[in-house]
Amino acid sequence: MTGFATAGFLAMAGRSASAMTQAEARTLIGSVMNAVHEIINSARSEAQMMRDFEALFTRYGDIPVIARSVLGPPARSASAAQLNAFTEAFRGYMARKYGGQFRRFIGARADVTGARQVQSYWEVISTMTMRGEAPFEVRWHVSDRSGQHKFFNLIIEGVNLLAAERQEIGAMLERRGGSIDRLIQDLRSTR
């Protein structure tokens, strides 16, 4: 049983990963980093930057899949309307939270330094270099399983965004007695 599932998964994984080339995966992340660089060095207002980040995540990130994965098992029992509302709220939350993080990288140099196949997707490795400090790695997980080339996870020096947000959203949901509607409400105003 497990053997069948594994074999099926591997066959699917092989097909899907080969559909997207390493060069395509690297190009995607190169574009993302150029876009991030442009936003953080644009000297726009903070509110405008957050809107820019939201547009960036929408364009290059697979937000519906990220949102669903972060919500975890409760996503299965949620209605389509709830799932949509959650996805929208999560999009804004992610832009505010991680957009703010990216602003630390003002003046940093970012290079795509490698890519490797992991499970059924590509992991693209980028190196951030800030003056006078040791360079560090941001790794992007990239897939075309949505029909488009999109990233669905990033790992900053080992810290996995999907895992961290799954923990966080899980805790938020628990605090609200498992009510997805209240979670959506509060997520809209969470930094």
Partner 1 sequence: MPARTNRFLMLAAGLALVLVAACSPRPPGVEIHDPYEVTNRAWFENNLALDNAVLGDTTETSDSGLRRVVRNFGTNLSIPGSVVNNLLQFRPDRAIENTLRFAINSTVGIGGLFDPAGRMGLHGRRSDFGETLYVWGVHEGAFVMLPFFGPSTERDAAGMVVDAALDPFRFLLPGREHAATVAARLAAQLAERAEYGDLIDANVMQSADPYAQSRLLFLQARRYYLGEESEEYFIDPYAEFVD
Q: Which stretch binds partner 1 (CB under 8 A): 35-43, 52-60, 86-94, 168-176?
A: 168-176
Q: Which one of 32, 39, 49, 66 is in contact with partner 1 (CB under 8 A)? A: 66
Contact with partner 1 (CB under 8 A) among 31, 51, 160, 182: 160
* R_g of the chain computed on alpha carbons: 18
CA distances 164 to 18, 104, 168, Å, are 29, 19, 6
SS3 state at 70: helix
Report 33-52 residues binding partner 1 (CB under 8 A): none
Crossing angle for the helix pair 22-40 and 46-60, nearest 10 degrees?
170
- Those residues whose C-beta lies under 8 Å from the C-beta of residue 157, and which sit 6 or more positions away, are 136, 137, 138
| Pairing verdict, β 109-118 and 121-129 | antiparallel
Could you give the CA distance from residue 94 to residue 165 in angstroms, rounded to a whole number?
Answer: 9
Listed ranges 20-28, 43-51, 84-92, 154-162: which one lies at the site for partner 1 (CB under 8 A): 154-162
Does 1 bind partner 1 (CB under 8 A)? Our answer is no
Q: Which strand (E) or helix (H) includes residue 109?
A: strand 109-118
Among residue numbers 83 through 112, which ones bind partner 1 (CB under 8 A)?
Answer: 100-101, 104
Q: Taking CB under 8 A as the criterion, which residues in 107-146 touch partner 1?
A: 118-121, 132-134, 141, 143, 145-146
Task: Please tell me the count of residues contacting partner 1 according to CB under 8 A.
Answer: 40
Per CB under 8 A, residues contacting partner 1 are: 9, 12-13, 16, 65-66, 68-69, 100-101, 104, 118-121, 132-134, 141, 143, 145-146, 152-153, 157-160, 162-164, 166-168, 171-172, 174-175, 190-191
